[in-house]
Structure 1
């Protein structure tokens, strides 16, 4: 089986996972900006990785808009984010990004990435600053665990990536 890993990464965490997965599976690897559906059609297994952006998986439209041409392939999508793995969050990500029909063809995985304010675009820095101000204006007792965590890591880069986390994807692809 011929496998490809495609990724879109804003701050490098998704790219790191994509490289580990491609290495482990001896797969080809491309930045999403370098491929189209014709490239994808050459492969039996397509693994797409994108970071989460307000629960949306960046760049996943490449898979979604071509789902009818890719249905006969093994499709894997992984997303990276700074939050710990929680079922309710995973379900929200799946349901926001994929229709019920698309979910039949796509196997989804979540991998914990990290956060690095310094690697964000100017626009993303602006949005994160607004979010930080909104959170800081809340009463301490009203903050969610995610909001407290975001405030704790906002000013210093954190990297939660762990190569062993790709194991479930490797196992799935090799099954």
Structure 2
């Protein structure tokens, strides 16, 4: 396929974005686990959930990408995507995971997702609890906006999905 949407989603928010984008554009979507041959792909829109700073599934996909393709990376996470510090943190994390040759030519977008603590695996719930206790005890002046948001939403269900934010990505593929 010349145009493809691939997503890496752990709990479903990123998958929801990717599927809605597929409906809006007519471009087929699939999970990164189902992707195995991208040699004919000329446009890839990769939706990746952010987990512990990593873009879910992208290491697998990066190995399959032809050099002459257009790559659009879409991160989905809890952090407020209107906060420049959060965006800088996300982009610094991407630098450690996405090869420079791909990253330098990619268009990057950031979307806000959600979390439902009841659905988290034991491992992820434990990690979030440890992180919560760490940031909760920081002096107020050292807490970032991301820290405050995590404290406010801890142990609850929040959904920041905004399908209108996909419009900017549609513009990028035109």
TM bracket, shorter-chain basis? 0.7 to 0.9
Distance in 2, matches of 1:129 and 1:161, equals 23
Q: Which residue of 1 aligns with 2:20?
A: 20
Q: State whether residues 5 and 47 of structure 1, in contact with CA within 8 Å, keep that contact through their aligned partners in structure 2.
A: yes
Counterpart in 1 of 2:169? 169
Contact preservation (8 Å) 2:25, 2:170? yes
Q: Which runs of 5+ in 2 are unaligned?
A: none
Matched, 1:77 2:89: no
CA distance in 1, matches of 2:93, 2:99: 11
Q: Root-mean-square deviation (CA), in Å? A: 1.9
Q: Residue in 2 aligned with 1:32?
A: 32
Separation of aligned partners in 1, 2:141 and 2:106: 39
CA distance in 2, matches of 1:52, 1:125: 15
Structure 2 residue matching 1:80: 3-state secondary structure: strand
Tell me the residue number matched to 1:117: 117
User: What displacement does 1:147 show?
Assistant: 1.2
Inter-partner Cα distance in structure 2 for 1:62 and 1:5: 15
How many residues are aligned here?
Answer: 170
Is 1:55 the counterpart of 2:53? The answer is: yes
SS at match of 2:79: coil
CA shift, 1:53, in A, is 1.5
TM-score scaled by length of structure 1: 0.87
Moved over 4 A (4+): none
Q: What residue in structure 2 maps to residue 93 of structure 1?
A: 93
Query: What is the deviation of 1:8?
Result: 1.4
TM-score, with structure 2 as normaliser: 0.87
